[in-house]
Chains A and B, each alone.
Chain A
Amino acid sequence: MPEEMAGNIAQQKASLLSQATQSLRDFRYSQHHHTAGTFPVAQMTQTGPRRIQNSGMEDESREQSQSSSTGMRLIVPLQGIVQGRGGLILGSVIPCAMFYFLQFYLKRRRSPPNLPHEQTSNPPSPSHSSSNLTELSRSASRSSLLLSRGSIGRPHVSSRVHSIAKSNDSPYNIGLDKVSADPYDRLNNPNGVIQLGLAENRLTLDLIENWITEKLNESILSGIATYQPFDGMTELKVAMAGLMSQVVGRTVTFDPSQIVLTSGATPAIEILCFALADPGNAFLIPAPYYPGFDRDMKWRTGVELIPVHCRSSDNFTLSIPVLDQAFNQARKRGQKIKGILLSNPSNPVGNLMTRETLFSLLDFAREKNIHIISDELFAASTFGDEEFVSMAEIIDSEDTDKDRVHIVYGLSKDLSLPGFRVGVIYSYNENVLTVSRKMTRFSPVSAPTQRLVTSMLSDTTFIKNYTEINRERLRNMYDLFVDGLKDLGIRCTKSSGGLYCWCDMSGLIRPYNEKGELDLWDKLLNVANINITPGSSCHCIEPGWFRCCFTTLDETDIPVVIERIRLVVETCKSPS
């Protein structure tokens, strides 16, 4: 399963972390303590064989061969076989055969006679590591093994359970957890952890609050308690089309009948993956990319992600030749590419795609006959001098072949309403729309929220005002934050959108690799109490880059943040 790839990366990170940071003990979800109960060695060996198919991809893209276990070294040579290159057969078959026999032997010894042999079955072990679930007395159930007829051990759960348990080891999630446990508050908890790892925008919420107080007076319940169309009420689709049009500067008119509403952009992306790709198919995705995509796109769909690496020398913009190369390499490996996923404005870098690049991408997609998903979640959160160009604008000027373009949007970033769960699939493909509509039954928008949001979006004067002020405040915070970092000698790429900046701390890491980057991340989190997102979580190929979200802060918080970073920077610069 492709989830294993993310799990594998996460596992390697976990082992790197454990070498560097004993202080992470409290928050580390080590292999030995995750909630599935304990199965130390078993975990590696049980999932080992499944990793074969992905290790090849992973090796090529990560360009690093640090493997922390014998298991990996045995598996990696198999890559050659899987990819049909042969050549390493003898050298790899024998150790692998021995490896498999060892695993088989261990499993037979370990599992009780009446459990079916599954790759992913849980060995019979006490469950129960969540300390807050103490109400139910479990001791009785354990001691009653004699009473229950012949069933020992816990019932099987799907492989999806294990893959997600592992991915919670990632720094991205660890950092978020740490903030939840000890959040900074200027007055009440000035030493708490400052959140710069969540792309949440608090800068302009006051305007929305005012709108609610003044304008929201309709009765929430009239006519909306009953079953509504799962893909959203028409009024909201109309209002959303209006919003999207306004956000792109009225260069495009969006058609409400091409809108499918979902409970957030997260399910919107997943639904598109279900609709466009079969398990095992792949999407090309410019890297660095939003860490959540690993889960959102791959977990339940079985789809794979192939990063297309962007580099600082290009200011992390996407290069079509590099994209082409990634496509060809994938094809050689026998992978079927179904589409490209773009984020525009990009996350974590904050670049806007130029009109030229968008046209080139469309040509590329046509040539290869694949889809384009354009995630435009931050479309109104732009603050630079460049204008935002939506894929819709590009496709609008074409007469044919629109069937391959799908846009994802939502209110979580531009309107700061992540809690309300409002996302959009906008597609030019009737078949995709039909399927998506059916799938929204699993991820619909709550009716009272639809009512409230329709009201708000229909107030176009308010929305226009809000968007303008939001942009100003974003720009202001961006400038202040980037200047603050500049004083510390930390450069950022020139961003034009998003709620964050992309910072180059490569000069501060030692050694110049992922381990060094994670060391710095750890120091910033546990010593400076700042949660930022390391580039490796975003699959950035160059070590030392970090994403810092500045929209959860007040202007007055910035000096605090800079000061804390300074302390760590000093320790990095001092001779070791």
Chain B
Amino acid sequence: MAIEIVQPSVGLSKIAVSETHGEDSPYFAGWKAYDENPYHEIHNPSGVIQMGLAENQVSFDLLEEYLEANLESANWGQKVSGFRENALFQDYHGILSFRKAMASFMEQVRGGKAKFNPDRVVLTAGATAANELLTFILADPGDALLVPTPYYPGFDRDLRWRTGVQIVPIHCDSLNGFQITPEALEAAYDHATSMNIKVRGVLITNPSNPLGANIQRKVLEQILEFAIQKNIHLVSDEIYSGSAFYADEFVSIAEVLESRNYQDSERCHIVYSLSKDLGLPGFRVGTVYSYNDQVVTTARRMSSFTLISSQTQFLLASMLSDKEFTQKYIKINRERLKKRYEMIINGLKKAGIECLKGKAGLFCWMNLSPYLEEPTIKSELAIWKTIMHEVRLNISPGSSCHCFEPGWFRVCFANMSEETLEVALSRIHEFIKERKQGL
């Protein structure tokens, strides 16, 4: 797959030949292993179980049920003239009813604790596009965004590849549960400045990927203060907000802003998507929600490169506006995720593995450092390879998430049946047992 340009008959761009697409990292290598040998209950029970993909399949039945009952909205119903307008609609403002539905859904996910204005919703084909778009808008090539570690491996590509922007890490460690501290923020900023790099913003993921933990209100306020002081932007990727197990424990930056009467809000932007909370990653529905008029306007225009299919907007608009349905869905989804989380945490505990106490997300942050030969990344990758090829589980090593402490792994639990999860847990159990005997 490496791009070999030895004697090019006709050349490609630097972006094309760079490695910044990030696909050589273990994060993606694990997926390949899965693709080549995917687990199947019946047909391939010894295959690789996919625990490296944060996909939510636990509540899909609720969606199917809804759409079947409301088939008309799925097929433009009897009013086929609606189809015509829909097929021709390519306005980057998006369908108003859909924007309203997104704003309403975002409010519901936050339990009504924050209000969202549909006119600030900019639609993109997925959160991947939303993050890249914001980066293009907030920073010039060579500038930097501060991102707390560990972070989603995809950011290396989404924020940097085509934009030419750099990521400067904000170091977080296990001593305080990987929380972001003002000292760490300052240190990252100073580090960037010392390298003559202009910092344009802080990008946080809340709830965090890969930690699976909510950022506390106090910490959000500190981060906001920091952004104000340095006169930089704050991007809050809240793609897992509906996957926090306890609704009242998740605090959105929108709530913080509302409580300050939107003072200094023009530096704040939220990224959201239906890929995790609604389990519809294939639909490619994302949004940039910005409190900055200029950013909203520019983002809308830039969204021309990544518009959501009008068919999809139409399909989902009535579903997302159906408050009764969404309320029910969000509640049940949270419960099921919590149940899964408890299942995996307990299963891992029985095997002698501790995880970070997180209460959100489609994954848990597992600590295998006691089982490393040495406290090094090398050892971490060695154990990761073993787990992938012998135990046949695809999990994501912390180093691919830029975690500075070796031995942590992200394990996804929402993209499989409970039975499969049991199989995975028993494999881990076996593996650790052998490991303990060996050590």
A contact set with B: CB distance below 8 Å = 35-37, 114-116, 120, 122, 127-130, 132-133, 135-138, 140-141, 144, 147-151, 153-161, 164-165, 168, 180, 200, 202, 205, 208-209, 212-213, 216, 219-221, 224-228, 263-264, 266-267, 270, 274-279, 281, 295-296, 299-300, 338, 369-371, 401, 403-404, 412, 416-421, 429, 431-432, 434-435, 438-439, 441-449, 452
- Chain A residues with CB under 8 A of B395: none
- Chain A residues with CB under 8 A of B283: 225, 446-448
Chain B residue at minimal CB-CB distance from A339: B10
- Taking a contact as CB atoms under 8 Å apart, the answer to whether A263 and B315 are in contact is no
Interface residues of B in 28-72 (CB under 8 A from A): 53, 55, 57, 60, 63-64, 67-68
- Chain B residues with CB under 8 A of A264: 90, 307
- Chain A residues with CB under 8 A of B194: none
Given contacts A114-B231, A274-B16, A403-B9, 6 further A-B contacts (CB under 8 A): A35-B297, A155-B201, A157-B294, A165-B298, A226-B279, A448-B311
Given A275-B12, A275-B13, verify A421-B125 contact (CB < 8 Å). yes
A439 to B91 alpha-carbon distance, docked (Å):
23
A166 to B88 alpha-carbon distance, docked (Å):
27
- Taking a contact as CB atoms under 8 Å apart, the answer to whether B264 and A443 are in contact is no
- Taking a contact as CB atoms under 8 Å apart, the answer to whether B125 and A444 are in contact is yes
- Chain A residues with CB under 8 A of B64: 221
Please give the distance in Å from A364's CB to the nearest CB on chain B: 13
Chain B residue at minimal CB-CB distance from A153: B231
| Interface residue from B12, B14, B120, B136 paired with A160 (Cβ < 8 Å) | B136
Chain B residue at minimal CB-CB distance from A148: B228
> Which residue, A129, A133, A299, A369, has most C-beta atoms of chain B within 10 A?
A133
Interface residues of B in 119-153 (CB under 8 A from A): 119-120, 125-126, 128-129, 132, 136-141, 143
- Taking a contact as CB atoms under 8 Å apart, the answer to whether A276 and B13 are in contact is yes
- Taking a contact as CB atoms under 8 Å apart, the answer to whether A369 and B9 are in contact is yes
Please give the distance in Å from A416's CB to the nearest CB on chain B: 7
Chain A residue at minimal CB-CB distance from B89: A419
B23 proximal to A (CB < 8 A):
yes
B318 proximal to A (CB < 8 A):
no
- Interface stretch, picked from B74-82, B332-340, B352-360, B398-406, is B74-82
A140 to B74 alpha-carbon distance, docked (Å):
44
Closest 3 interchain pairs by CB?
A419-B310, A447-B282, A446-B309
- Taking a contact as CB atoms under 8 Å apart, the answer to whether A443 and B125 are in contact is yes
A435 to B267 alpha-carbon distance, docked (Å):
33
Given A116-B198, A164-B301, A431-B3, verify A129-B293 contact (CB < 8 Å). yes
A281 to B67 alpha-carbon distance, docked (Å):
49
| Interface residue from A161, A418, A419, A420 paired with B298 (Cβ < 8 Å) | A161
- Taking a contact as CB atoms under 8 Å apart, the answer to whether A421 and B87 are in contact is no
- Taking a contact as CB atoms under 8 Å apart, the answer to whether B10 and A212 are in contact is no
Q: List 18 A-B contacts (CB under 8 A).
A: A127-B266, A127-B294, A136-B262, A144-B263, A151-B229, A155-B231, A205-B84, A220-B75, A221-B64, A228-B282, A275-B12, A278-B14, A419-B86, A435-B21, A442-B306, A444-B284, A445-B284, A447-B282
- Chain B residues with CB under 8 A of A157: 137-138, 294-295, 298
- Taking a contact as CB atoms under 8 Å apart, the answer to whether A212 and B76 are in contact is yes
- Taking a contact as CB atoms under 8 Å apart, the answer to whether B305 and A270 are in contact is yes
Secondary structure type dominating chain A contacts: loop
- Chain B residues with CB under 8 A of A136: 117, 262, 265, 291
| Interface residue from B88, B117, B301 paired with A200 (Cβ < 8 Å) | B88
Q: Give the number of residues in B that approach A within 8 Å (Cβ atoms).
A: 100
- Chain A residues with CB under 8 A of B371: none
B174 proximal to A (CB < 8 A):
no
A416 to B23 alpha-carbon distance, docked (Å):
36
B429 proximal to A (CB < 8 A):
no
Interface residues of B in 220-271 (CB under 8 A from A): 225, 227-233, 261-267
Please give the distance in Å from B232's CB to the nearest CB on chain A: 6
B312 proximal to A (CB < 8 A):
yes
Contact bitstring B303-334, A, C-beta under 8 A = 1, else 0: 01111111110010000000000000000000
A526 to B223 alpha-carbon distance, docked (Å):
50
- Taking a contact as CB atoms under 8 Å apart, the answer to whether A220 and B13 are in contact is no
B contact set with A: CB distance below 8 Å = 1, 3, 5, 9-16, 21, 23, 53, 55, 57, 60, 63-64, 67-68, 74-76, 80-81, 83-84, 86-91, 115, 117, 119-120, 125-126, 128-129, 132, 136-141, 143, 157-158, 162-163, 198, 200-201, 225, 227-233, 261-267, 275, 279-285, 291-298, 301-302, 304-312, 315
Please give the distance in Å from A299's CB to the nearest CB on chain B: 8
Given A157-B294, A221-B63, A446-B125, verify A435-B9 contact (CB < 8 Å). no
- Taking a contact as CB atoms under 8 Å apart, the answer to whether B282 and A151 are in contact is no
- Taking a contact as CB atoms under 8 Å apart, the answer to whether A300 and B302 are in contact is yes
Given A421-B125, A446-B308, A447-B282, verify A403-B10 contact (CB < 8 Å). yes
A452 to B10 alpha-carbon distance, docked (Å):
38
| Interface residue from A158, A267, A404, A446 paired with B312 (Cβ < 8 Å) | A446
Chain B residue at minimal CB-CB distance from A411: B87
- Chain B residues with CB under 8 A of A277: 13
Please give the distance in Å from A68's CB to the nearest CB on chain B: 25
Chain A residue at minimal CB-CB distance from B116: A135
Given A155-B267, A164-B301, A442-B129, verify A448-B312 contact (CB < 8 Å). yes
| Interface residue from B55, B87, B157 paired with A227 (Cβ < 8 Å) | B55
Please give the distance in Å from B315's CB to the nearest CB on chain A: 6
- Taking a contact as CB atoms under 8 Å apart, the answer to whether B305 and A442 are in contact is yes
- Taking a contact as CB atoms under 8 Å apart, the answer to whether B262 and A141 are in contact is yes
- Chain B residues with CB under 8 A of A164: 298, 301-302
A160 to B305 alpha-carbon distance, docked (Å):
14
| Interface residue from A140, A369, A420, A432 paired with B311 (Cβ < 8 Å) | A420
A124 to B30 alpha-carbon distance, docked (Å):
49
A114 to B228 alpha-carbon distance, docked (Å):
12
- Chain B residues with CB under 8 A of A138: 262
- Taking a contact as CB atoms under 8 Å apart, the answer to whether A224 and B282 are in contact is yes
- Chain B residues with CB under 8 A of A114: 231
Given A228-B282, A421-B308, verify A158-B138 contact (CB < 8 Å). yes
A141 to B262 alpha-carbon distance, docked (Å):
7
Given A136-B262, A276-B13, A371-B10, verify A439-B306 contact (CB < 8 Å). no
A417 to B311 alpha-carbon distance, docked (Å):
10
| Interface residue from B83, B140, B263 paired with A140 (Cβ < 8 Å) | B263
Please give the distance in Å from B347's CB to the nearest CB on chain A: 24
- Taking a contact as CB atoms under 8 Å apart, the answer to whether B306 and A263 are in contact is yes
- Taking a contact as CB atoms under 8 Å apart, the answer to whether B10 and A442 are in contact is no
- Chain B residues with CB under 8 A of A434: 1, 3
Given A36-B294, A200-B88, A441-B128, verify A431-B5 contact (CB < 8 Å). yes
Please give the distance in Å from B21's CB to the nearest CB on chain A: 5
| Interface residue from A149, A180, A338, A438 paired with B229 (Cβ < 8 Å) | A149
- Taking a contact as CB atoms under 8 Å apart, the answer to whether B311 and A419 are in contact is yes
- Taking a contact as CB atoms under 8 Å apart, the answer to whether B16 and A431 are in contact is yes
Please give the distance in Å from A209's CB to the nearest CB on chain B: 5
A388 to B436 alpha-carbon distance, docked (Å):
71
A445 to B129 alpha-carbon distance, docked (Å):
12
| Interface residue from A120, A299, A435, A443 paired with B12 (Cβ < 8 Å) | A435
Please give the distance in Å from B355's CB to the nearest CB on chain A: 25
- Taking a contact as CB atoms under 8 Å apart, the answer to whether A35 and B293 are in contact is yes
Please give the distance in Å from A339's CB to the nearest CB on chain B: 8
- Taking a contact as CB atoms under 8 Å apart, the answer to whether A263 and B125 are in contact is yes
- Chain B residues with CB under 8 A of A416: 87-88
- Taking a contact as CB atoms under 8 Å apart, the answer to whether B305 and A132 are in contact is no
Given A141-B264, A267-B306, verify A155-B232 contact (CB < 8 Å). yes
Please give the distance in Å from B154's CB to the nearest CB on chain A: 8
> Which residue, B16, B126, B140, B227, has most C-beta atoms of chain A within 10 A?
B16
- Taking a contact as CB atoms under 8 Å apart, the answer to whether A132 and B83 are in contact is no
- Chain B residues with CB under 8 A of A299: 302
Chain B residue at minimal CB-CB distance from A371: B10
| Interface residue from B83, B128, B301 paired with A212 (Cβ < 8 Å) | B83
- Chain B residues with CB under 8 A of A154: 266-267, 292
- Taking a contact as CB atoms under 8 Å apart, the answer to whether A448 and B117 are in contact is no
